[in-house]
């Protein structure tokens, strides 16, 4: 377990152990305490809330792996489970805020500690609630950066497909589409519980006006981030549709070639089959070499020229040539 304590408003950062962090949580004021737990939970270890002296059953879930999105008020305290986009996965930061401190607990490096400390030093929040909203905004920014980055990748892939379709492009599109679904699936429940909590609290007359402004700013940012993720999902669907259109176009070109071959060889096949029949007239009357060359070769040459003329007049050949020229560009 790695414990980092940030003293506000000066922003001093201290690495400490659980015992000292417990003492400072009980006595000092206006602190950020960040607890980094191992990736895999250990058996026989007391809950983080008990190790830090938070002797209440309301916070037994702090640091528990797989905890769903949460946003609730418990008297003078508020507890949250905040999703954070980290690469191709989503991790969760557990947060507990009181009037004196903000406690964050996460497994592994969630990627928010350094950026949040930098925000605290530059913004210098006036209380722990303002510090909490900096954490919430920073978590939303991870989703926004991830969605915008994936959106640019989808657009680049779509441009590459029109220049030349390759099998690896559909695999990369599938990965981006799965990631967009992950972002949407993890962010939406979190935004729903946050909206419910803010709606209940802001209807309370005792909710301070400055905190109402912070909540409204968070809701506005959350709406923009959710829109970015929906734009990513729409772009990935459009890219899949473009890929399917390109495949259909190639299949149509193949079918057109087969149709041309059929137009040319179908009359020939008919003549060959017709004169291969054992009718009495064919076997007894058509015996001279001149008749053979006239019917066997002449009719086939005429049939080929008629088929080519029909193709030319109907512009099928020309349209196929134009499609091939566009495909080579």
Cα-Cα-Cα-Cα dihedral of 212, 218, 221, 225, to 10°?
-140
**329 pLDDT band (50/70/90 cuts)?**
very low
* Average of per-residue pLDDT values in the chain: 80
- What average pLDDT does this structure show over 76-87? 87
Q: How far apart are CA 34 and CA 32, in angstroms?
A: 6
Tell me: the pLDDT tens digits for 301-318? 787 787 777 766 766 555
Backbone angles phi, psi at 82, to 5 degrees: -110, 120
Per DSSP bridges, beta strands 31-37 and 101-107 are: parallel
**Res 1: pLDDT:** 76
Mean pLDDT of 27-44: 79
pLDDT at position 290: 76
pLDDT-above-90 percentage for the chain: 14
H-only helix segments in 164-208: 167-202
Q: What is the pLDDT of residues 242-295, one digit of tens each?
A: 877 777 777 777 777 777 777 667 777 777 777 777 777 666 666 677 776 777
pTM of the complete model beyond 0.85: no
């Amino acid at each position: 377990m790695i414990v980092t304590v940030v003293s506000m408003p000066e922003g001093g950062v201290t690495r400490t152990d659980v015992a000292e962090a417990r003492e400072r949580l009980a006595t000092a004021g206006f602190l950020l305490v960040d607890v980094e737990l191992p990736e895999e939970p250990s058996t026989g270890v007391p809950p983080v809330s008990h190790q830090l002296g938070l002797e209440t059953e309301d916070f037994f879930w702090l640091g528990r792996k797989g905890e769903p999105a949460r946003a609730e008020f418990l008297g003078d305290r508020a507890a949250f489970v905040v999703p954070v986009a980290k690469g191709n996965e989503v991790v969760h930061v557990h947060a507990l805020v009181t009037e004196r401190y903000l406690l964050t607990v996460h497994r592994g490096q969630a990627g928010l500690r350094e950026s949040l400390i930098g925000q605290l030093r530059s913004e210098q929040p006036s209380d722990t609630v303002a510090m909490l909203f900096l954490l919430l905004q920073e978590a939303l920014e991870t989703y926004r950066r991830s969605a915008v980055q994936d959106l640019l990748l989808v657009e680049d892939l779509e441009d590459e497909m029109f220049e030349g379709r390759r099998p690896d492009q559909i695999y990369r599109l599938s990965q981006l589409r799965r990631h967009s679904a992950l972002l949407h699936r993890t962010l939406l429940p979190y935004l729903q519980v946050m909206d419910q909590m803010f709606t209940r609290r802001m209807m309370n007359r005792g909710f301070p006006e400055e905190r109402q402004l912070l909540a409204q700013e968070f809701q506005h940012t959350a709406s923009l981030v959710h829109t970015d993720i929906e734009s990513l999902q729409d772009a990935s669907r459009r890219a899949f549709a473009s890929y399917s259109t390109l495949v259909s176009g190639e299949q149509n070109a193949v079918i057109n070639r087969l149709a041309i071959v059929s137009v040319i060889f179908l009359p020939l096949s008919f003549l060959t089959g017709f004169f291969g029949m054992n009718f009495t007239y064919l076997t007894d009357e058509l015996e001279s070499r001149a008749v053979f060359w006239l019917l066997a070769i002449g009719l086939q040459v005429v049939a080929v020229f008629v088929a080519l003329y029909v193709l030319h007049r109907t512009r099928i050949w020309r349209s196929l040539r134009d499609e091939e020229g566009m495909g080579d560009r």
